[in-house]
Structure 1
Amino acid sequence: MSDSHQTRAQQLIGDFAPKLVDLTDGVLFGDIWKRDELSPRDRSLITVASLITSGSTDQLRGHLALARTNGLTEIELKEAIIHLAFYAGWPKAMSAITVAKEVFAKDE
């Protein structure tokens, strides 16, 4: 399968951890993200907040871009990071806003 037809998980770790790719693509994005009980926009906001609070900046890059696709604005995402500074900690918010600045610059 060519890189252009692979999921991001397949591109990153498909040859190294195929089971984790199966779970990521099939369960997480194929089932959980498709459930009707929350909108994709809400799921993105929750996911971004969770990644910020856990300090998971590597995964934050992709999820900020997905959040934009799912209807969150740059202003809303920056405001979420500012809000989380007081709950997750200043260093995590500063790291997150740095990642957001990089991601949003690519969108311009």
Structure 2
Amino acid sequence: MTGKPIPQSAQRDRVRKTVPALVAYTEGVVYSDLWERTDLNKRDRSLVTVAALVATYRPEQLAVHIGRALDNGVTKEELAGLITHLAFYAGWPAAMSAAQVLTEILEKREA
């Protein structure tokens, strides 16, 4: 573990009692180890993660990672381009769902 603060998540906190080991791995491995590796910077890691979530049709996880991508320096134009590009490789429905999630996140941030 790196000792860096782990991003808060209401979704993770909600399931903590039900699946404590899964949450512990998320916080102890995913956020404290994987996201802190230096082989990719956080901006690029965010792009890869968002692309994987779009391609595997995981809109329920996408909102958190789109927000994190924006915080890590990915622009809304880059996210829109990523989603449009993936429409041709991952499927139109996945891209349209991702576009809805991106729109919701941007609207909340602009409010």
Question: What is the rounded CA distance, in whole Å, between the counterparts of 1:66 and 1:49 in structure 2?
Answer: 13
Question: What is the rounded CA distance, in whole Å, between the counterparts of 2:12 and 2:65 in structure 1?
Answer: 16
Partner of residue 37, structure 2: 35
- Asked whether the 8 Å contact 1:64–1:103 carries over to 2, the reply is yes
**Structure 1 runs, 4 residues or longer, greater than 6 Å off:** none
- Asked whether the 8 Å contact 1:52–1:96 carries over to 2, the reply is yes
Deviations 1:45-79 (A, max 9, x none): 00000000000000000000000000001111001
5+ long unaligned stretches in structure 2: 1-6
Question: What is the rounded CA distance, in whole Å, between the counterparts of 1:102 and 1:12 in structure 2?
Answer: 21
Please, what is the CA RMSD of the aligned residues? 1.5
TM-score (norm. length: structure 2): 0.89
Identity of aligned residues (%): 45
5+ long unaligned stretches in structure 1: 1-5
The DSSP-based 3-state class of the residue aligned with 2:73 is coil
State the 1:10 CA deviation.
Answer: 4.1
Question: Which residues in structure 2 correspond to 1:1-108 (within 5 Å)?
Answer: 7-8=8-9, 10-108=12-110
TM-score (norm. length: structure 1): 0.92
